[in-house]
Structure 1
């Protein structure tokens, strides 16, 4: 199911039980459409994610580690000034719609008590987050500004009166009486279908409507009552079908198929469901320019390789030019003046007649010299072309490794990759007089089942640092075979087979073949790993390797993470 009004209801209930009365201790905006509130409630800190993303709009408690940018966007700064340190005194859902209001109590600069509302509208591409003054009902600020000429129904700008989105006159399943439901059922011409139920109630998704329809015998009122009881007592469930597609529900729906996994809370389920989807989208937001540069460079290199290969094909004609030059030299007396071509017997091919084109403005010896010049030029070019082909293929391997690292990285770790592309000349460095404090990213840290430390590089610079500087000669090095991926170091001179297999799973997971089966992974002591002079970051050569075949899964990787 989608994040519909029913699931929003379960989230609101969860937050009322966990953060009501809590204090907003920290606010930050890790990405364009997302705000994170760190709450101090019930003697512990909890993070609340408010997302106005066009595809993944939601509110939830989250355990995901989202970075706090060095420079906060304007809306985040405004929230910090106005509600940081304030208290949440209520969390309400508008009917069964995907509109949730956080009632906030705060003191202004003069010490006067003020009440404001943080309103989250989760409506696809129209999703937004507002801070509204309760006394005047005016928008203090909002995440997305929409002027009147773009929206004739309401103005979404600071200072405008806050107006609710257009409301459809449908029943709230949590408040509808049996009589109201009987009346609406009487209007269903083709019976209790999922489509009719979805059109009759607020905030009901397609999957929810199917589940209610399956319970609605003999009446709609009975089905809604059964459904709401299950929502109140059941456990949030994540379904995975045989194709790998995931869906979720507030309890284990009978109408959903696939492997079912239950969670202790609605928010924990959302963390599991959105972790990969949202991360990929965030990377596209943050790294779209990097991926575009790499795509363009790879395309240019493909065209370059095509031209080089054509040059090699032409170089195969070199011997033909040499033979023509030698025939002209041997039979100078048989070549008429100002001729455009001549036929001579080829003593390299059993005196077979060979037609040789000529430049009529040149003498026979000059034409022969012209063929020899072409021959020598092509022979000399072969070595150069082979060098260029090898250089271009090496550059492609490097660019593909960067592309893999971007797709596998956390958004907060992309700055290191950006710096690497600047150093390599693919990205122009912006001139700035301000010295910015850089956060140094560290490699991934894992522990094997027997407690052995395993480190995994996040980018090429980290790979070099990890393998060539930090690892000891008797530690073990692993890498997915012949494909872009991270360097993995097992910090042991005599690792167990189990530890090597777990490290191989990490090497396969952090490679281009993350979602493949039977991925080959080479392992070898670090002393057999060398970096050629002048090689690109992350590029090494190695000998004496052995190979393991593994199938990586996220669950295995998470179990090893420190």
Structure 2
């Protein structure tokens, strides 16, 4: 899988058809390395995503909603200043490189027309988004600033002259008339893997998977030039495809490549990219935006698990409490045999068939005081049992709570993190951030649960955190609706909006409950279901905690493909 120059060639064509002549109406930077330009073209507004993420760098039209930060970054403000209202003239790709140029016409502060170019370079960790003034080729700014200490070939700083990425001595496969060099390479390297390596060195914009597919095409019977042209013509008329290349390993391509297990086709390259990257990018964004929450939860789990071990060790020591009582009673019975100054004595244990028992004594106190010392130690340990048992119960509850929060963070969309943070603030585990301090008198608005549609059209709602779960189950759901939750594990509350759901809908909802839980990677996951009227929330319990009885149980295997089908 690679977002190489050839795939970018196909993406450029798609973007050109949908966006050229459009006007920018909105500019946002939801994440540090990503820019979203809302462009209205041909009577429709589209979200153009430019991502310089080191792992998921790409350019596409996206349908995935992103939550923007409360305060825009300096880069966002600058891009808005120069490009808000700008008209997209053309989109070009230098050669077959992993670079796209978006050329805009705009007006400056005094109303003069200016020509600006927004460049995205898709080069793994060196990916970048750069705005330049075309009149002098000077950089206005870049999403990642690069100085000479990092790159001696070129700097990417405001005011610097923009220099193209280093040019390689390779051929553009989309602009070739002579195929003799390619023919020579094919004759010299009959092995497909070796041929693919040679083709990558000779042709521009070929990732490993594309070069392997091309090598297979060139070994087909018939004219080499025709095979070569047929292969690259498909990038101009793509059939966007996600293919399984091995067990649970998938690849996306502009058209079906040879030697794949199964192919799923999409209507556009942008739809394909949304589908392929949705879960991966969401997890990455959650880690990025939720780093503070993840740190707090890990620390709380570590602290409470350490505390639990200590409490359990102390409780284990109380198992010997009765021995202290027995020794005190034996000393009291045979007090006349105990002399002051003794350090130990052996007496008859009438609790163990009169077997001898050795009892340690303090030579600094009287015999009766020694007996009382054993009784006091016994009483102290008996009192500790009640205290330690209560502490262990509370600590286990804390561990369960934070395991639940941890699972919610793993399953969260970026926009759900604010609610999790708010909950931790309300519970006293996290200090109120500045924005919340300003708005602490305002009532926190809980996001709506995620909606899914069962195969028979029934609506299924899934809470993604404790606040959503509580709102969904206790305030929104009808008492006659069906409630589901994975058994004895952290997970989402699931509501079927039907008083009498079909068996198929029940299984699909159970699959959702299992998928949105800590058991996502398991099989044969038990899921409880019961009418909402049976759900109770005990007073004083943490958000999202409920109890229920009279439930029925069903076993399901969480199925990611089914979740995608049900998601609306």
TM-score range, shorter chain: over 0.9
Given candidates 402, 423, 426, the residue that maps to 2:426 is 423
What's the secondary structure of 1:273's corresponding residue? helix
* Residues 1:171 and 2:168 aligned together: no
What's the secondary structure of 1:271's corresponding residue? helix
Given candidates 544, 547, 555, the residue that maps to 1:549 is 555
Indicate the residue corresponding to 1:534 in structure 2: 540
The C-alpha deviation readout for 1:156-184, integer Å capped at 9, x for no partner, is: 11111111222322222222342562487
Asked if 2 retains the 8 angstrom alpha-carbon contact of 1:505 and 1:552, the reply is yes
The root-mean-square deviation of aligned C-alpha atoms, in Å, is 2.3
Indicate the residue corresponding to 2:11 in structure 1: 11
What's the secondary structure of 1:530's corresponding residue? coil
Distance in 2, Cα, partners of 1:44 & 1:554: 32
* Residues 1:240 and 2:244 aligned together: yes
What's the secondary structure of 1:95's corresponding residue? coil
Distance in 2, Cα, partners of 1:464 & 1:368: 56
Structure 2 counterparts to residues 470-485 of structure 1, below 5 A:
470-485=476-491
Distance in 2, Cα, partners of 1:418 & 1:313: 37
Distance in 2, Cα, partners of 1:154 & 1:365: 90
Indicate the residue corresponding to 1:469 in structure 2: 475
What's the secondary structure of 1:428's corresponding residue? coil
Structure 2 counterparts to residues 492-503 of structure 1, below 5 A:
492-503=498-509
* Residues 1:514 and 2:509 aligned together: no
What's the secondary structure of 1:150's corresponding residue? coil
Given candidates 326, 342, 349, the residue that maps to 1:323 is 326
Indicate the residue corresponding to 1:457 in structure 2: 463
What displacement does 1:435 show?
4.2
What's the secondary structure of 1:398's corresponding residue? helix
Indicate the residue corresponding to 1:209 in structure 2: 211
What's the secondary structure of 1:10's corresponding residue? helix
Distance in 1, Cα, partners of 2:76 & 2:361: 77
Q: 1:184 to 1:435 in 2, by over 3 A?
A: farther
* Residues 1:490 and 2:492 aligned together: no
The C-alpha deviation readout for 1:498-535, integer Å capped at 9, x for no partner, is: 33333222222222223433322211112211111211
Indicate the residue corresponding to 2:529 in structure 1: 523
TM-score normalised per structure 2 = 0.93
Q: Say how many residue pairs are matched.
A: 561
What displacement does 1:83 show?
0.7
Q: 1:525 to 1:179 in 2, by over 3 A?
A: closer
Distance in 2, Cα, partners of 1:208 & 1:452: 43
What's the secondary structure of 2:85's corresponding residue? coil
Asked if 1 retains the 8 angstrom alpha-carbon contact of 2:446 and 2:467, the reply is no
What displacement does 1:310 show?
0.6
* Residues 1:198 and 2:188 aligned together: no
* Residues 1:160 and 2:163 aligned together: no
Distance in 1, Cα, partners of 2:497 & 2:470: 16
Structure 2 counterparts to residues 33-182 of structure 1, below 5 A:
33-179=33-179, 181-182=181-182
TM-score normalised per structure 1 = 0.94
Structure 2 counterparts to residues 241-320 of structure 1, below 5 A:
241-255=245-259, 257-320=260-323
* Residues 1:231 and 2:235 aligned together: yes
What displacement does 1:221 show?
5.1
Asked if 1 retains the 8 angstrom alpha-carbon contact of 2:446 and 2:468, the reply is no
Distance in 2, Cα, partners of 1:190 & 1:503: 53
Distance in 2, Cα, partners of 1:554 & 1:27: 33
Distance in 2, Cα, partners of 1:204 & 1:213: 11
Asked if 2 retains the 8 angstrom alpha-carbon contact of 1:475 and 1:490, the reply is yes
* Residues 1:401 and 2:407 aligned together: no
Q: 1:311 to 1:77 in 2, by over 3 A?
A: same
Instruction: Out of 515-524 and 89-98, give the one that drifted further.
Output: 515-524
Distance in 2, Cα, partners of 1:464 & 1:496: 25
What displacement does 1:96 show?
1.5
What's the secondary structure of 1:325's corresponding residue? helix
What displacement does 1:222 show?
5.8
Instruction: Out of 515-524 and 101-110, give the one that drifted further.
Output: 515-524
The C-alpha deviation readout for 1:291-316, integer Å capped at 9, x for no partner, is: 11111111111111111111121010
The C-alpha deviation readout for 1:119-141, integer Å capped at 9, x for no partner, is: 00111111110000001111111
Distance in 2, Cα, partners of 1:81 & 1:440: 33
Distance in 1, Cα, partners of 2:84 & 2:486: 47
What displacement does 1:457 show?
1.7
Gaps of 5+ in 1: none
Given candidates 408, 411, 415, the residue that maps to 1:412 is 415
Distance in 1, Cα, partners of 2:183 & 2:457: 65
The C-alpha deviation readout for 1:519-562, integer Å capped at 9, x for no partner, is: 22211112211111211110111011111222343443344444
Instruction: Out of 513-522 and 343-352, give the one that drifted further.
Output: 513-522
Instruction: Out of 419-428 and 187-196, give the one that drifted further.
Output: 187-196
The C-alpha deviation readout for 1:329-376, integer Å capped at 9, x for no partner, is: 222233343233222221211222222222222222222222111111
Indicate the residue corresponding to 1:334 in structure 2: 337
What displacement does 1:7 show?
0.8
The C-alpha deviation readout for 1:82-111, integer Å capped at 9, x for no partner, is: 111111111111211111111111122222
Asked if 2 retains the 8 angstrom alpha-carbon contact of 1:181 and 1:220, the reply is no
What displacement does 1:476 show?
2.1
Asked if 2 retains the 8 angstrom alpha-carbon contact of 1:234 and 1:252, the reply is no
What's the secondary structure of 1:89's corresponding residue? strand
Asked if 2 retains the 8 angstrom alpha-carbon contact of 1:185 and 1:220, the reply is no
Asked if 1 retains the 8 angstrom alpha-carbon contact of 2:185 and 2:195, the reply is no
What displacement does 1:118 show?
0.2
What's the secondary structure of 1:193's corresponding residue? helix
Instruction: Out of 396-405 and 361-370, give the one that drifted further.
Output: 361-370
